[in-house]
Protein backbone atom coordinates (compact mmCIF):
# COMPACT_ATOMS: atom_id res chain seq x y z
CA UNK A 1 0.00 0.00 0.00
CA UNK A 2 2.92 2.37 0.64
CA UNK A 3 4.17 1.93 -2.93
CA UNK A 4 0.67 2.54 -4.33
CA UNK A 5 0.28 5.67 -2.23
CA UNK A 6 3.69 6.95 -3.30
CA UNK A 7 2.91 6.21 -6.96
CA UNK A 8 -0.45 8.00 -6.72
CA UNK A 9 1.01 11.03 -4.91
CA UNK A 10 3.87 11.29 -7.40
CA UNK A 11 1.53 11.23 -10.40
CA UNK A 12 -0.77 13.79 -8.79
CA UNK A 13 2.21 16.02 -7.95
CA UNK A 14 3.28 16.00 -11.61
CA UNK A 15 -0.31 16.66 -12.73
CA UNK A 16 -0.54 19.70 -10.43
CA UNK A 17 2.86 21.04 -11.54
CA UNK A 18 1.97 20.86 -15.24
CA UNK A 19 -0.57 23.50 -16.28
CA UNK A 20 -3.65 22.01 -17.94
CA UNK A 21 -2.66 18.39 -17.32
CA UNK A 22 -5.30 17.60 -14.69
CA UNK A 23 -7.96 19.38 -16.74
CA UNK A 24 -7.13 17.05 -19.63
CA UNK A 25 -8.12 14.07 -17.49
CA UNK A 26 -11.13 15.67 -15.73
CA UNK A 27 -13.33 14.77 -18.74
CA UNK A 28 -12.71 11.13 -17.88
CA UNK A 29 -13.68 11.44 -14.21
CA UNK A 30 -14.71 8.08 -12.81
CA UNK A 31 -12.68 6.08 -15.32
CA UNK A 32 -10.16 3.60 -13.93
CA UNK A 33 -6.60 2.93 -15.03
CA UNK A 34 -4.37 0.01 -14.11
CA UNK A 35 -0.62 0.54 -14.19
CA UNK A 36 0.68 -3.02 -14.45
CA UNK A 37 4.37 -2.76 -13.55
CA UNK A 38 4.90 -6.55 -13.50
CA UNK A 39 6.08 -6.61 -9.89
CA UNK A 40 3.18 -4.44 -8.73
CA UNK A 41 -0.19 -3.30 -10.05
CA UNK A 42 -1.61 0.09 -9.22
CA UNK A 43 -5.34 0.61 -9.80
CA UNK A 44 -6.28 4.27 -9.88
CA UNK A 45 -9.51 6.11 -10.60
CA UNK A 46 -9.64 9.57 -12.14
CA UNK A 47 -11.28 12.00 -9.73
CA UNK A 48 -13.46 14.98 -10.66
CA UNK A 49 -10.46 17.33 -10.45
CA UNK A 50 -8.49 15.19 -12.97
CA UNK A 51 -6.11 13.75 -10.39
CA UNK A 52 -5.78 10.09 -9.49
CA UNK A 53 -7.10 8.31 -6.42
CA UNK A 54 -6.44 4.72 -5.36
CA UNK A 55 -9.35 2.38 -6.06
CA UNK A 56 -10.02 -1.34 -6.05
CA UNK A 57 -11.00 -2.14 -9.63
CA UNK A 58 -12.07 -5.52 -10.97
CA UNK A 59 -11.99 -4.55 -14.66
CA UNK A 60 -10.13 -1.29 -15.40
CA UNK A 61 -11.12 0.93 -18.31
CA UNK A 62 -7.49 1.10 -19.46
CA UNK A 63 -4.30 -0.84 -18.74
CA UNK A 64 -0.76 0.47 -19.19
CA UNK A 65 2.00 -2.13 -19.04
CA UNK A 66 5.71 -1.42 -19.60
CA UNK A 67 7.65 -3.67 -21.94
CA UNK A 68 11.36 -4.54 -21.78
CA UNK A 69 11.94 -2.06 -24.63
CA UNK A 70 10.37 0.73 -22.55
CA UNK A 71 12.51 -0.11 -19.52
CA UNK A 72 15.66 -0.15 -21.66
CA UNK A 73 14.84 3.12 -23.47
CA UNK A 74 13.40 5.14 -20.58
CA UNK A 75 16.71 6.45 -19.16
CA UNK A 76 17.81 7.68 -22.58
CA UNK A 77 14.59 8.71 -24.32
CA UNK A 78 12.46 9.86 -21.37
CA UNK A 79 8.84 10.41 -22.29
CA UNK A 80 9.47 9.36 -25.91
CA UNK A 81 10.10 5.85 -24.60
CA UNK A 82 6.46 5.60 -23.47
CA UNK A 83 5.45 4.58 -26.98
CA UNK A 84 7.06 1.22 -26.16
CA UNK A 85 4.49 0.42 -23.46
CA UNK A 86 1.57 -1.96 -24.03
CA UNK A 87 -1.78 -0.16 -23.92
CA UNK A 88 -5.22 -1.75 -23.84
CA UNK A 89 -8.72 -0.59 -23.09
CA UNK A 90 -10.81 2.50 -23.89
CA UNK A 91 -9.07 4.26 -26.79
CA UNK A 92 -10.41 7.74 -25.90
CA UNK A 93 -9.11 7.40 -22.34
CA UNK A 94 -5.75 6.07 -23.55
CA UNK A 95 -5.44 8.98 -26.00
CA UNK A 96 -6.14 11.45 -23.18
CA UNK A 97 -3.61 9.73 -20.92
CA UNK A 98 -1.03 9.81 -23.72
CA UNK A 99 -1.56 13.54 -24.29
CA UNK A 100 -1.34 14.28 -20.57
CA UNK A 101 1.70 12.08 -19.93
CA UNK A 102 3.56 13.65 -22.86
CA UNK A 103 3.15 17.12 -21.38
CA UNK A 104 4.03 16.19 -17.78
CA UNK A 105 7.09 18.00 -16.54
CA UNK A 106 8.71 17.71 -13.14
CA UNK A 107 9.77 21.14 -11.89
CA UNK A 108 12.68 19.91 -9.80
CA UNK A 109 13.83 23.41 -8.99
CA UNK A 110 10.44 24.33 -7.48
CA UNK A 111 10.54 21.21 -5.29
CA UNK A 112 14.10 21.91 -4.13
CA UNK A 113 13.50 25.61 -3.33
CA UNK A 114 11.75 25.08 0.05
CA UNK A 115 14.52 22.68 1.11
CA UNK A 116 17.62 24.50 -0.12
CA UNK A 117 16.61 28.04 -1.12
CA UNK A 118 16.32 29.65 -4.53
CA UNK A 119 20.00 29.92 -5.46
CA UNK A 120 20.99 26.48 -4.20
CA UNK A 121 17.95 24.89 -5.88
CA UNK A 122 18.86 26.52 -9.18
CA UNK A 123 22.48 25.35 -8.90
CA UNK A 124 21.51 21.81 -7.87
CA UNK A 125 19.08 21.59 -10.78
CA UNK A 126 21.73 22.82 -13.23
CA UNK A 127 24.25 20.36 -11.78
CA UNK A 128 21.74 17.51 -12.13
CA UNK A 129 21.07 18.41 -15.77
CA UNK A 130 24.82 18.53 -16.47
CA UNK A 131 25.32 15.11 -14.85
CA UNK A 132 22.47 13.58 -16.87
CA UNK A 133 23.77 15.14 -20.09
CA UNK A 134 27.27 13.83 -19.30
CA UNK A 135 25.95 10.34 -18.64
CA UNK A 136 23.93 10.35 -21.87
CA UNK A 137 26.99 11.53 -23.81
CA UNK A 138 29.15 8.89 -22.13
CA UNK A 139 26.71 6.08 -22.96
CA UNK A 140 26.42 7.35 -26.53
CA UNK A 141 30.21 7.38 -26.91
CA UNK A 142 30.43 3.92 -25.35
CA UNK A 143 27.89 2.57 -27.85
CA UNK A 144 29.73 4.20 -30.76
CA UNK A 145 33.09 2.83 -29.60
CA UNK A 146 31.65 -0.65 -29.06
CA UNK A 147 30.14 -0.74 -32.54
CA UNK A 148 33.38 0.53 -34.05
CA UNK A 149 35.32 -2.18 -32.21
CA UNK A 150 32.91 -4.90 -33.40
CA UNK A 151 33.22 -3.71 -37.00
CA UNK A 152 36.87 -2.68 -37.31
CA UNK A 153 38.83 -4.64 -34.72
CA UNK A 154 36.94 -7.84 -33.93
CA UNK A 155 35.39 -8.00 -37.41
CA UNK A 156 32.19 -9.45 -35.95
CA UNK A 157 30.02 -7.05 -37.93
CA UNK A 158 30.26 -5.87 -41.51
CA UNK A 159 30.89 -2.25 -42.44
CA UNK A 160 28.07 -0.45 -44.17
CA UNK A 161 30.20 0.03 -47.31
CA UNK A 162 30.94 -3.70 -47.50
CA UNK A 163 27.27 -4.59 -47.09
CA UNK A 164 26.29 -2.12 -49.84
CA UNK A 165 29.00 -3.53 -52.14
CA UNK A 166 27.81 -7.11 -51.45
CA UNK A 167 24.17 -6.17 -52.10
CA UNK A 168 25.16 -4.52 -55.39
CA UNK A 169 27.10 -7.63 -56.44
CA UNK A 170 24.11 -9.85 -55.58
CA UNK A 171 21.78 -7.62 -57.62
CA UNK A 172 24.20 -7.68 -60.57
CA UNK A 173 24.48 -11.48 -60.37
CA UNK A 174 20.67 -11.82 -60.26
CA UNK A 175 20.38 -9.62 -63.37
CA UNK A 176 23.07 -11.66 -65.16
CA UNK A 177 21.30 -14.93 -64.28
CA UNK A 178 18.00 -13.55 -65.55
CA UNK A 179 19.64 -12.51 -68.87
CA UNK A 180 21.34 -15.92 -69.22
CA UNK A 181 18.03 -17.68 -68.53
CA UNK A 182 16.33 -15.57 -71.21
CA UNK A 183 19.10 -16.41 -73.71
CA UNK A 184 18.90 -20.14 -72.97
CA UNK A 185 15.12 -20.11 -73.52
CA UNK A 186 15.54 -18.28 -76.79
CA UNK A 187 18.19 -20.78 -77.92
CA UNK A 188 15.93 -23.68 -76.91
CA UNK A 189 13.11 -22.23 -79.00
CA UNK A 190 15.39 -21.78 -81.99
CA UNK A 191 16.78 -25.31 -81.66
CA UNK A 192 13.37 -26.93 -81.26
CATH of the domain at 39: 3.30.1050.10
Residue 185's pLDDT band (cuts 50, 70, 90): very high
Under the banding of pLDDT at 50, 70 and 90, the label for residue 180 is: very high
Spatial CB neighbours of 128, under 8 Å, sequence gap ≥ 6: 108
Sign of the torsion angle spanned by Cα atoms 87, 89, 91, 96? negative
One domain, residues 95 and 37: yes
What's the rounded Cα separation, in Å, for the pair 62 and 42?
A: 12
Question: Do residues 53 and 29 touch, judged by C-beta distance below 8 A?
Answer: no
Q: What tens digit of pLDDT does each residue of 125-176 get?
A: 899 889 988 988 998 899 889 888 888 888 888 888 888 899 999 999 999 9
59 shares its domain with 39: yes
**Same structural domain for residues 20 and 98?**
yes
**What's the order of all strands across the beta sheet hosting 32-36?**
52-54, 41-46, 32-36, 62-65, 86-89
Q: What is the dihedral of CA 168, 174, 176, 177, to 10 degrees?
A: 160
- Choosing from 87, 103, 119, the residue where a domain stops is 103
Query: Domain count of the chain?
Result: 3
Q: Which of 94, 26, 29, 40 is nearest to 64 (CA)?
A: 94
Report the alpha-carbon distance of residue 101 to residue 98 in Å, rounded: 5
| Residue in 66, 17, 26, 67 with CA at minimum distance from that of residue 42 | 66
- Distances in Å between the alpha carbon of 161 and those of 157, 158, 168, 192? 12, 8, 11, 46
Same domain, 72 and 135: no
Domain carrying residue 163? 159-192
Provide the β-strand partners of residue 11: none
For residues 191 and 123, membership in a common domain is answered with no
| Claim to verify: residue 131 and residue 190 sit in the same structural domain | no
Q: Is 160 helix (H, G, I), strand (E, B) or coil?
A: helix
Same domain, 93 and 123: no
What are 9-46's pLDDT values in tens digits? 888 888 888 888 888 888 999 999 988 877 788 889 99
Shared domain check, 14 and 97: yes
Same domain flag for 144 and 163:
no
Q: Residue 42 belongs to what H/E stretch?
A: strand 41-46
Contact 96, 25 (CB under 8 A): yes
User: Are residues 11 and 40 located together in one domain of the fold?
Assistant: yes
| Range from 30-34, 85-89, 92-96 carrying the lowest mean pLDDT | 85-89
pLDDT for 73 equals 62
Same-domain check for residues 18 and 71: yes
Amino acid sequence: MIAESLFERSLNHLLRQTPGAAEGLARHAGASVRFDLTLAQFDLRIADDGCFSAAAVAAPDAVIRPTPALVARLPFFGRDALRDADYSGDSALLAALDRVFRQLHWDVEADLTPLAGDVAAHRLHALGQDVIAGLAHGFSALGHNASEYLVEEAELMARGVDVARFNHAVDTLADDVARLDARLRRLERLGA
